[in-house]
Amino acid sequence: MRALVVEDEKELAELLGSYLEHDGFEVTVVHDGLDAVEAGRKIDPDVVVLDLGLPGLDGVEVCRQLRTFSDAYVVMLTARTDEVDTLIGLSVGADDYMTKPFSPRELMARVQAMFRRPRPGATVAAALDGARRFGALTVDALGRDVWLDGAPVALTRTEFDLLATLAEHPRMAFSRQQLIEAVWGPSWVGDEHLVDVHIGHLRRKLNDDPAEGQYVRTVRGVGYRMGSSQ
Ligand code: CA
């Protein structure tokens, strides 16, 4: 597993790097935004710890560029709590956010939870020979593939996990909190609207209705569920 740490506070960068190394990651540390995008292309990281305030390109732009070629798990570091709301509103594509100062142990706990948890859908998918169909949409939870009208759809890790969670129980309406527990883990504390942002990205990639959703339906007053199962 490869990790990329992008942080211009060098001591913090080294500290986070050593925690990740201790946990078995092969770590690359860079200190500015331009190097971050280049390193992202070169090492194809599984996890990116990305500071918001960076020289060169800021964290928002780095995340946007990373997302054009990477489905890495991105944790963005911010200096203030209120920045998180703004970032969620901007849909920059990070999977999680942490506000400084934070404990590196807490960061590691989140990264570990993400990588140690069995992937949603794995057991059910095995029983179903891998694939579930929802009209023109096929979700292969075991292979982590999604197809729309026969063409593959490139989803980020978080988008895929949300879709696989919904697809695993197609008749169930999930609350945002239930989706957070399934995808980010029960210890995640933050804004539930992060779910809405990722659902928004997911719908866009599935050419789904941005408001109601054919594949990922809005259940008013509750949250989300899969659309018609076939
Ligand atoms: Ca900084």
Distance 80 CA to ligand 1 centre (A): 12
pLDDT tens-digit map of 55-112: 999 999 999 999 888 888 999 999 887 887 777 767 778 888 899 999 999 899 888 8
pLDDT surpasses 50 at 137: yes
Query: What distance in angstroms lies between residue 85's CA and the mean position of ligand 1's atoms?
Result: 18
Residue 230 confidence (pLDDT) above 50: no
Identify whether residues 27 and 125 lie together within a single domain.
no
In this predicted structure, the answer to whether residue 121 has a pLDDT above a threshold of 80 is no
Of the three residues 87, 116, 145, the one that is the final residue of a domain is 116
Domain closes at, from 116, 132, 148: 116
Determine the distance separating the centroid of ligand 1 and the alpha carbon of 186, expressed in angstroms.
29
Higher-scoring residue by pLDDT: 143, 26: 26
Q: How many angstroms does the Cα of residue 50 sit away from the middle of ligand 1?
A: 9
Q: Which amino acid is at 194?
A: L
Bridge-based pairing of strands 47-51 and 223-226 is: unpaired
The per-residue pLDDT for range 5-34, each reduced to its tens digit, is: 999 999 999 999 999 999 999 999 999 999
* Predicted confidence band of residue 117 (pLDDT cuts 50, 70, 90): low
Q: How far is the CA of 120 from the centre of ligand 1 (A)?
A: 34
Does 65 share its domain with 130? no
Do the Cβ atoms of 174 and 196 come closer than 8 Å? no
Chain centroid offset of residue 173 CA:
21
The secondary element (H helix, E strand) that includes residue 180 is helix 176-183
Q: How many angstroms separate the alpha carbon of residue 207 from the centre of ligand 1?
A: 36
CA–centroid distance, 52 to ligand 1, in Å, is: 6
pLDDT at 126 over 60: no
Task: Report how far ligand 1's centroid is from the alpha carbon of 53 (Å).
Answer: 4
Tell me the one-letter amino acid at 7: E
Q: Which domain holds residue 102?
A: 2-116
- Is the domain of 88 the same as that of 140? no
The per-residue pLDDT of the chain, averaged, comes to 87
For residue 45, what are the contacts with CB-CB under 8 A and spacing of at least 6?
2, 3, 4, 28, 39, 70, 72
Distance 31 CA to ligand 1 centre (A): 9
In this predicted structure, what is the pLDDT of residue 125? 44
Same domain, 112 and 218: no
Number of residues that this document lists for the chain: 230
193-202 pLDDT tens trace: 889 989 998 9
Same structural domain, 77 and 159: no
Using the mean position of ligand 1's atoms as its centre, give its distance from the Cα of residue 56 in Å.
Answer: 11
Output the CA 66–ligand 1 centroid distance in Å.
18
Which of residues 81, 116, 151 is at a domain's end? Answer: 116
Q: So what's the pLDDT on residue 127?
A: 47
User: How many angstroms separate the alpha carbon of residue 15 from the centre of ligand 1?
Assistant: 14
pLDDT band, very low/low/confident/very high, at 3 (cuts 50, 70, 90): very high
**Of 151, 145, 148, 150, the residue nearest 203 (C-alpha):** 148
Tell me: do 130 and 97 sit in the same domain.
Answer: no
List all residues 6 or more positions away from 92 whose beta carbon is below 8 Å from its beta carbon: 59, 60, 63, 64, 76
Q: Which residues contact 133 (CB under 8 A, 6 or more apart)?
A: 139, 229, 230
The CATH number that applies at residue 184 is 1.10.10.10
What is the distance between the alpha carbons of residues 152 and 13, in angstroms, rounded to a whole number?
36
